[in-house]
Each structure stands twice: as C-alpha cells, then as structure tokens.
Structure 1
Amino acid sequence: MADIIGTVRALYRYPVKSTAGQALSKAFVTDSGLEHDRKWAIYTADGGIASGKRTHRFRPVPGLMHWSSSSDLPHPEVPMLFSPDGSAYRADEPAASRALSEAFDQHLELHRETATPHHDETPLHLLTTSSLAALANLSGVPVDEGRFRANLIIDTGPVPGFPEDQWIGSELVIGDGVRIRLGSGMPRCVMVDQSQHGLAAEPKILKLLGAHNNTKLGLQAHTVRGGVVRAGDSVVLRRGPAGM
C-alpha cells in the first residue's frame, strides 16, 4: 500500500559533527546518508568524538554547538569551520584544531570519518512537521526544528500527533525515486535541551518527550536507493516488508 504523506519541507547537513550545519535546497542521498554530512568530527585527547553527551564513542564538550560548519564549492569534501565570533578555518588545516583547543581549554583535533562512524544511530534522520507541532503544543512555545539536527523535515500538513511513529519498518519514496527504509524512533538526549547556534536553552524538551513519546522524536533511516532529493519533493509512504 502506498500513500502520499507530504513533501520535503527542509534539508540539512552537518559537515562537522556537533556543530551547527547548513540548510540545503537539494542534497544527494548516498548509502552513508546525505553527501558530506558528518564526515568530519572533533576528537578529544582520549580519541573520543566531541559531542553533547558521554557514551563509549562520544565525549561531552559543552558549547561546541555554538560553532558551525559548511561544505560548499570548490572543495565540499573539506568543510569550513566557523567560531561563534565568525572566524573561519578549513577543517584540514592545523589552525582549526588550534582554535578549538584554545577555545575549549583542552586538546581537540579535527579528523575525517574512518572506521568509527560519526552518526549517532543511523546515516539518515527525519522529522515531521506534525511531530514538531505536537511538541510545541505540549511545550506551550514554538519548537525550532534545528534543535533536533535532522536531515529531512517532512511537511505532513494538519496530521496530528507523532505520525512517523506509525511508519517504522516501511519505506519512503521521495521525488524521482530516492528510497529510504525507516527504522525505530530516534532516541533523544540532553543535547535537545542545550543552547546552540541561534537557539537558547530549552530545558523542558527532553522531559516532555520522556513523558509523552518515550523520549523519542523522529525516525532513524537507511538508504535503499540513492539520488537527489529537493525541497518540495513529494513523499510517498510504502507500507509492508521491503516497501511492498
């Protein structure tokens, strides 16, 4: 069974993990997610990946989300890193790592992704406008989509609640045939409450998600068939095994 469930409202990539990223009008979807998304990360002295939380891979570096990054021509494979004061650094130049180390008073180094994946859970992550509206209704104030660092925002119109929670195990067909397989809900952590580039702290978001949606928002996803996705593309939901 196939149903048109909305359109692509926005696309985002984050060239350097845990920094603010960039909005896109179109993006190439690869087996490893959006092209140039989180292909670089900042590493701590013990080899951990700088983040807003602590796990076996990640190390908390508070304030990192106030930095930003972008991957543009002529060298999109080497992102630019921007400090909160607007200073710009190429990710592959020593000056970038020095600036980070000085700003956070610890040894930090920028590196490309190798055997250790930079994505938290899966290469792709999506949210719906319905879920954002539901969370805003619970919060009592507007909730900025940038707080959740998703790759795709799907405009689902007036559909209430958290509709993507019913899509787990299905496929989305986007635009001219890009297909993504939908996994489980995206687990949330303290990062959603923290301040970041252009956004103040909002300490009740995680608590609300815990009380009303099992501390999850949006879905994890993997690429089935890649290609170009554009803002405004139609989104079709195919339910059942392997999208049949």
Structure 2
Amino acid sequence: MIRIGTVSSIWRYPVKGMAGESLTRADIGSMGVSGDRILAVQDVARQEIQSCKFRPELLQCRCKAVDNAETVEILFPDGEVKLSSDRDVNDKISQLVGHKSKLQSLRPKSDSKFYQRFKRDDHSWLTELKATFAREPGEPLPDLDNLPDEMQTYVSLLGTFFLVSPFHIITTASLKHMRSIHPGPDWNVERFRPNLIIETLPEISGLAEQEWLGRSLVIGDVTVKLGEAAPRCGAVVRKQQGFSEDRSILRSIVRDAHQNLGVYGDILAEGAIHAGDQIYLV
C-alpha cells in the first residue's frame, strides 16, 4: 500500500441535485455515505426524477439531513428554510424550478417504473441529455450514443438516486492542477459534488485520481474501488450559494482534462471515515 494523503472533507447530498453538507465523520455502506441521495425531486408532468443536469435551479438550494436522516432541512436561495416534511415544501420547489414538482423517497429496485426516463419519442430524450453537457461547437461529448440499455431506460441505478456510482472522489492535486492552467475562475470544490476530497501529499501532482483507475483506496476499514472517470456537464458552471456562474470552468475541463474531473468509486468494504484519516492506494 502507498500512502497518498488524508481525508480533507466528506460530503453528502440528501436531496439529489441540491447542494449538500460537509461532514467530519461518515458511515460508508454499499450505497456510499449514509444519508446521501435519500430524496429526489420528481417532475409531476413527466413523472420523472430530476437531477441538477435538467433542473440546475436545484443547485441554489442547500440541504442537510436532520433527525438521524429521517428528515431533510432545505435552505432556499431566498433564505427561507423548510423541512422535507413541511406541507408546502413541494410548492416552494415547484416555484423555484418552474415546473410542478414533488419530493420523493427511494423506492425498491422492483419498482422500476418509478426510475424510468421520460421519453416523448425515441430521440428527444437523447437530444435533451446531450444538451445538459453544455458543449460549444467543436467540443467533444461523452459517448452518449452508446449508453448501456439500463442508462437509456432509467434516470438512476434502480433502487437508488445515483446515476453511475454511489461514491465520487476528487483530489486537491487535480484542483490545484486545474487552477494552475486556468487561474481566473473560482474552482470551488462544491461545483463538482464529490463525496470525498483527498488532501494529497505534496509530491502528488496532475490529475492524480485519473491515474489510479482500476485500483483501490483504503481508509481505515473502508475500501473503495476506483471505477470510471467523471465526465463533466453544465452543472459545474452553475450558480450556487456562495459562488456565481462561470462557463469558462467547463471549457477548461473539456480542453485540459479530457472533459473529466474526479472519479467514481464502488464500496468493497464498509466502515466509518473521518476527516484527517490516512488514505492508502492499493
């Protein structure tokens, strides 16, 4: 095992698509951080679970889990705070995103209809999906024309509100690398919605986590297998509480990082992690 750094911070996002909360300790299970993506916003007309790709206004809300993750507290951009259990919370969300919406809890994997994509026809859904990546003429897209059948049919992994994987990782080395190339913007880590930020050792540089794909991280009792790089969409440029919109960030990621920043992980061994824990590469 090679020591690569420490846990800088841990993040969870109790409502899919909304900004989340920073933790100093978290229980990590097969579905990632406990309390992560326990709710999602459903478009009532489309009968479809929404993400910040399609409803970027959700990013202007900040949420945190309360009451042992039984309830979620949502701070709206106008400063109003509501609980997920409040009777008028769906009206508030609908007003924000401009579409009649409601919060939904996870349902069993067997309820596959709940997770289906809205498809008006065979082609418009893919056109909509490509548009969320906010590419300019000449910029490459991820290979969306050859998505696995499950990703074409469903908006998330069945039984979850995760698109690809329950755990997302980014290193300070990568953020430092991108700042060195494009120093003007605010490379606030919240733009990239990681679960784990690794404070890498000083000698580690570049897009470090991209070089570790296929290997595993060990953090105490927790083991995470690093699976795929994370292609970036238009959500990373959007305004959130604390920073403004900046489209140049996505231009730089597409140009200078092969359109990827951060990696997805799968949990091989469960346990608890803490800020400051040592991290080893296997």
TM-score normalised by the chain length of structure 1: 0.89
Q: Are 1:88 and 2:81 counterparts?
A: yes
Counterpart pick for 1:220 among 264, 275, 280: 264
Query: 1:232 & 1:202 partners in 2: Cα distance?
Result: 31
Counterpart pick for 1:136 among 164, 179, 184: 179
Q: Are 1:30 and 2:23 counterparts?
A: no
User: Following TM superposition, by how much is the alpha carbon of 1:168 offset from its aligned partner in structure 2, in angstroms?
Assistant: 0.7
Counterpart in 2 of 1:168? 213
Structure with higher strand content: 1
User: Does the 8 A contact of 2:57 with 2:96 survive in 1?
Assistant: no
Deviations 1:127-150 (A, max 9, x none): 000000011112113411111000
Deviations 1:174-214 (A, max 9, x none): 0x221111101111101011111211111111121111221
SS of residue paired to 1:71: strand
Greater displacement, 84-93 / 182-191 = 84-93
Query: 1:103 & 1:165 partners in 2: Cα distance?
Result: 36
Kindly provide the amino acid, as one letter, of the partner of residue 9 in structure 2. A
- C-alpha RMSD of matched pairs (Å): 1.4
Deviations 1:37-56 (A, max 9, x none): 01111111212222232xxx
Q: Are 1:154 and 2:206 counterparts?
A: no
Name stretches of at least 5 consecutive residues in structure 2 with no aligned partner: 110-114, 116-159
Kindly provide the amino acid, as one letter, of the partner of residue 57 in structure 2. G
SS of residue paired to 1:208: helix
SS of residue paired to 2:56: coil
CA pair 226-71 structure 1, distance change in 2 beyond 3 A: same
Kindly provide the amino acid, as one letter, of the partner of residue 44 in structure 1. D
Greater displacement, 111-120 / 7-16 = 111-120
User: Following TM superposition, by how much is the alpha carbon of 1:12 offset from its aligned partner in structure 2, in angstroms?
Assistant: 0.5
Counterpart in 2 of 1:192? 236
TM-score normalised by the chain length of structure 2: 0.78
Query: 1:169 & 1:134 partners in 2: Cα distance?
Result: 22
Q: Percent identity?
A: 30
Greater displacement, 122-131 / 165-174 = 165-174
